[in-house]
Amino acid sequence: MNKLYSFRRCPYAMRARMALRYSGVPVEMVEVSLKAKPPEMLAISPKGTVPVLDAGGRVIDESLEIMHWALAQNDPQGWLLEGDARIAELIEANDQGFKVHLNRYKYAERYPEQPMEVYRAEGAVFLQRLEALLKDRDYLLTDHPSLADIALLPFVRQFAHVDREWFAQTPYVRLQVWLQRFLESELFTSIMKK
């Protein structure tokens, strides 16, 4: 049996859980306390971060790799878009750039060099880019969800939730609808159950 070590609110773990759920791969979920990580998880992945997938003895401890592994098993709606290079580029922009701004915005007290609003504005540049991608369609790259949508969703959610009133007042109307559609989806609600 496949086993996923996860933490409910971790955005990396969320995207891994969504890909596993969507692909229908059977997996036992192990909710991890970040203050008391299970020894069996640390034994297979000493870096001690979630998510970690034990796929029948093969250990995968990067969320994107877990997503790709799950989709290689089953991708019924074509999330991989036949290797569309825009997916990797968008995810890299999220993981390498937007995530930095998100962390500084969310934990602004740890980064007193700038006011929180500066970090929010830096992150909003990425939100503007996503809003533009949604101009003619409901999803980022095509007319159905793709790996890019699912990989970015937890991070956009986290950014929006830092100050929900601010996000609701932004001109990113299409992005707000995109986010809400996913937050209300069976896929997302099922992976967020306690």
* Domain residue limits, the chain: 2-76, 82-188
Q: What token pair was written down for 161?
A: 């939730």
Q: How far apart are CA 36 and CA 21, in angstroms?
A: 26
Task: Work out the average pLDDT over 29-37.
Answer: 94
Per the document, the length of the chain is 194
Does 3.40.30.10 match the CATH number of domain 2-76?
yes
| CA dist 119 → 55, 126, 170 (Å) | 38, 12, 15
The predicted-structure confidence for 132-184, as pLDDT tens digits, reads as follows 999 999 999 999 999 999 999 999 999 999 999 999 999 999 999 999 999 99
Task: Work out the average pLDDT over 18-45.
Answer: 96
pLDDT > 90? residue 64: yes
Residues with Cβ within 8 Å of residue 159, at least 6 apart in sequence: 98, 102, 105, 106, 123, 127, 167
Instruction: Evaluate if pTM is beyond 0.85.
Output: yes
- The pLDDT of residue 74: 98
DSSP structural state of residue 134: T
Q: How far apart are CA 163 and CA 165, in angstroms?
A: 6
**Where would I find the beta strands (DSSP E) of 25-80?**
27-31, 52-55, 58-60
Q: What is the CATH number of domain 82-188?
A: 1.20.1050.10
The predicted-structure confidence for 102-111, as pLDDT tens digits, reads as follows 999 999 999 9
* Domain pair 2-76 / 82-188, same fold: no
Yes or no: say if 166 and 127 are a contact pair by the CB < 8 Å rule: no
Q: Closest by alpha carbon to 8, among 167, 146, 190?
A: 190
Task: Identify the band that residue 83 occupies on the pLDDT scale cut at 50, 70 and 90.
Answer: confident
